[in-house]
Amino acid sequence: MEDPRARALIEEFEFLDNWEERYTHVIELGKALEPLSPNEHVDGNKVKGCVSQVWLVSETRPGTPARLHFHADSDAHIVRGLAALLIRLISDRPADEILALDIKGVFEEIGLAENLSAQRSNGLAAMIARIRTVAEAAQ
């Protein structure tokens, strides 16, 4: 993976020996995620297709090119951690960079994709789809 952020995430997870350590690390990342304000926990920010409640908020930041900034929250620890990973990977990038990035491929290289339950995999796919929709609309 040539993207520097993707490479950094992949290398971070290479040091974790097994799925339990990776799972714990994902939960810790979620705990460190900045909380959303109460007015951001609204239906318009909910990600459809997730069993857990997930809120994903985006805003366009000025610049040339403009960059998309994301933040998120979830009522489930592991999903909140997955959202934290996504934010580290895609936030504050131009829309075209987000769309060009193989987000699912990064999660496969990290070793998370094959170890998630079907419900969590669907939730991750829903978050990625929402991010891509936001990026497409921003182009």
Specify the CATH number for the domain of residue 122.
3.90.1010.10
pLDDT given for residue 13 in this prediction: 93
What digits encode the pLDDT tens for the residues 17-46?
Answer: 888 899 999 999 999 998 999 999 999 999
Instruction: Write down the catalytic residue from 6, 33, 50, 101.
Output: 50
User: Residue 120 belongs to what domain range?
Assistant: 4-138
89 within 8 A of 72, measured Cβ to Cβ: no
In angstroms, rounded to a whole number, what is the distance separating the alpha carbons of residues 97 and 51?
29
Tokens at 85, concatenated: 């990973």
10 within 8 A of 109, measured Cβ to Cβ: yes
Q: What is the phi/psi pair of residue 62, to 5°?
A: -65, 155
106 counts as catalytic:
no
In angstroms, rounded to a whole number, what is the distance separating the alpha carbons of residues 33 and 36?
9
55 within 8 A of 47, measured Cβ to Cβ: yes
The count of structural domains within the chain is 1
pLDDT given for residue 119 in this prediction: 85
pLDDT given for residue 1 in this prediction: 58
pLDDT given for residue 50 in this prediction: 78
- Residues of the chain with pLDDT below 70 are 1
How would DSSP label each residue in 8-62? HHHHHHHT--SHHHHHHHHHHHHHTSPPPPGGGSSGGGBPTT-SS-EEEEEEEEP
